[in-house]
Amino acid sequence: MSKDGGGLRVRVKTARKRTPQSTRWLERQLNDPYVKRAKADGYRSRAAYKLIELDERFGFVKGKKRVVDLGIAPGGWSQVVGRQNPKAAIVGIDLLPVDPIDNVIILQMDFMADAAPARLIEELGGAPDLVLSDMAANTVGHPQTDALRTMALVEAGLAFAIETLEPGGAFIGKVFAGGADAALVAEMKRNFATVKHAKPPASRKGSSEWYVVAQGFKGRRAVEEER
């Protein structure tokens, strides 16, 4: 490695078995202040600060008793919730293996599987009052296809939240390309008192990810009566 800017920035030389793309990724990681901060604070990833910053703005974590973390890997979001609400029941799910987290139940399974929603509620011990979704589909390199695949996960996460949330609960989900589409936003507004889009500072400037924050779940009966 070499340094420039008076030793402030780390540059990574391209190793024989490392592609230029992986070299750029490694250099970005080594120079990312959020990565360094995450290591210092004991969080598993820089993504923890996305949730922290969203919560500082919208205040949806405090006081929550039962939380579902969709796409939990590597576990930073559940760590944040656990630190703020030590007594909260937290259940996370992901296709990838996740190292154990204190007081968090982790399911390694596909959230899109038919059995997943019931299993989450069973492990949680009741209806959630907060559903978090940092799920994103594996990219194939075609922007429109990637956006559609991720939007399908957002829609599935929202459907789960609407089906299971306690009245007054909240849903936070990752979306792309400036936010959720009009139909999805309309569905959220039917079911939640407020719906906002936000891009937290911890989200890289070059990333197309945004987050939708839906708060004040109206309850299934109330929504049915409005229709």
Is 196 catalytic? The answer is: no
Q: Are residues 136 and 213 in the same domain?
A: yes
CA distances from 81 to 101, 123, 190 (A): 12, 17, 27
- List the CATH number of the domain containing 105: 3.40.50.150
Distance of CA 216 to the CA centre of its chain: 19
The pairing of strands 9-11 and 2-4 is: antiparallel
**pLDDT attached to residue 35:** 86
pLDDT beneath 70: ranges in the chain = 1-31, 139-143, 145-146, 177-180, 222-227
Q: Which entry of 174, 189, 196, 218 is annotated as an active-site residue?
A: 174
User: Which two structure tokens, joined as six digits, stand for 129?
Assistant: 């009052």
The answer to whether 94 is a known ligand-binding residue is yes
| Separation of alpha carbons 52 and 198, rounded Å | 13
The answer to whether 55 is a known ligand-binding residue is no
Q: Are residues 25 and 91 in the same domain?
A: no
Q: Are residues 19 and 99 in the same domain?
A: no
The H or E element containing residue 197 is strand 192-198
Q: Are residues 75 and 10 in the same domain?
A: no
pTM, full prediction? 0.83
| Separation of alpha carbons 227 and 3, rounded Å | 62
**pLDDT attached to residue 11:** 54
The answer to whether 114 is a known ligand-binding residue is no
